[in-house]
């Protein structure tokens, strides 16, 4: 059968509901924009690695976005990317030369990301980053994002659910969420590098701004947001004050 993709519709895939657009590609984002994805109010969440394109083409002042960001320590992130790229022959971005590289060689090559998150948030894909770029990234997260930490994925998920008021429908849904979190952590597990090792130093050198951004999120923004959400929930659950 030929599917009609000229209009937006919700489709079922393995029991989950999705809107029939692909926001993981530039072409898909353009199509989603033309079909009015965000104004339709069909999606609860939009997933995409193309941060800038999604914000500029799908959202506006009238339909603003709230980012959901889970940060991982940049060194661990790059080790995980390296481990993946050594064997991911199915990935369009696979590079055969990475498979034969040591971690140190990878860190010295052009294949390693340079401050990926800071560049993603600021839209500065090339050129040298400055302190002002880091501050812009911090401010974007402070004002526009709900943040969590990968190393505390379950508590991060709990925080995000509380903020949006999401609740599992039943025990089956709760077990499903727990399994997804556990599988995600297990799949992304990498060997911790010694902070005094050459590989750690080389990767950290390429991600100095991302490390500072991660520390800001972990040490300030996550605790601050959780305190705010807790206070809001307490205020909602408090009994009304009756004046006599």
pLDDT value at residue 176: 79
pLDDT value at residue 117: 95
Give the total residue count for the chain: 244
Long-range CB pairs of 141-145 (<8 Å, 24+ gap) are 141/67, 141/69, 141/213, 141/216, 141/217, 141/221, 142/221, 144/65, 144/66, 144/67, 145/66, 145/67, 145/68, 145/69
pLDDT value at residue 110: 93
SS (H, E, C) 108-172: HCCCCCCCHHHHHHHCCCCCCCCHHHHHHHHHHHHHHEEEEEHHHHHHHHHHHHHHHCCCCCCHH
pLDDT truncated to tens, each residue of the chain (244 aa)?
335 678 999 998 887 889 999 999 999 999 999 999 999 999 989 988 888 899 889 998 888 888 999 999 999 999 999 988 888 888 887 888 999 999 999 999 999 999 999 999 998 989 999 999 999 999 999 999 999 999 888 889 889 888 888 887 778 777 877 777 777 666 667 788 999 999 999 999 999 999 999 999 999 999 999 999 888 888 877 666 555 4
Backbone phi, psi, residue 157, to 5°: -65, -40
pLDDT value at residue 40: 93
Tokens 């190393």 correspond to 151
Q: How far apart are CA 130 and CA 142, in angstroms?
A: 19
Question: Rounded to the nearest 10 degrees, what angle do helices 51-58 and 26-34 cross at?
Answer: 10
* Residue 224 structure tokens: 């601050």
Among candidates 12, 56, 13, 8, which has minimal Cα distance to 32? Answer: 8
pLDDT value at residue 1: 37
pLDDT value at residue 50: 86
The pTM of this model reads 0.85
Q: How far apart are CA 35 and CA 174, in angstroms?
A: 33
């Amino acid at each position: 059968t030929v599917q009609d993709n000229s209009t937006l519709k919700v489709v079922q895939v393995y029991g989950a509901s999705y809107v029939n657009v692909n926001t993981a590609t530039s072409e898909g984002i353009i199509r989603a924009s033309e079909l009015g994805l965000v104004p339709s109010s069909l999606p609860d969440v939009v997933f995409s690695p193309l941060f800038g394109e999604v914000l500029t083409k799908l959202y506006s002042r009238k339909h603003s976005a709230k980012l959901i960001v889970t940060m991982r320590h940049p060194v661990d992130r790059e080790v995980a990317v390296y481990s993946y790229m050594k064997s991911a022959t199915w990935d369009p971005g696979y590079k055969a030369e990475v498979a034969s590289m040591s971690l140190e060689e990878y860190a010295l090559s052009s294949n390693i990301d340079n401050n990926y998150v800071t560049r993603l948030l600021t839209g500065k894909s090339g050129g040298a980053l400055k302190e002002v770029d880091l501050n812009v990234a911090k401010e974007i997260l402070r004002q526009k994002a709900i943040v969590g930490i990968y190393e505390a994925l379950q508590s991060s998920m709990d925080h995000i659910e509380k903020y949006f008021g999401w609740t599992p429908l039943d025990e089956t849904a709760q077990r499903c969420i727990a399994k997804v979190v556990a599988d995600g952590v297990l799949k992304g597990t990498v060997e911790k590098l010694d902070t005094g090792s050459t590989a750690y130093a080389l990767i950290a050198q390429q991600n100095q701004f991302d490390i500072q951004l991660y520390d800001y999120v972990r040490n300030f923004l996550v605790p601050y947001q959780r305190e705010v959400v807790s206070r809001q929930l307490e205020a909602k659950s408090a009994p009304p004050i009756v004046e006599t």
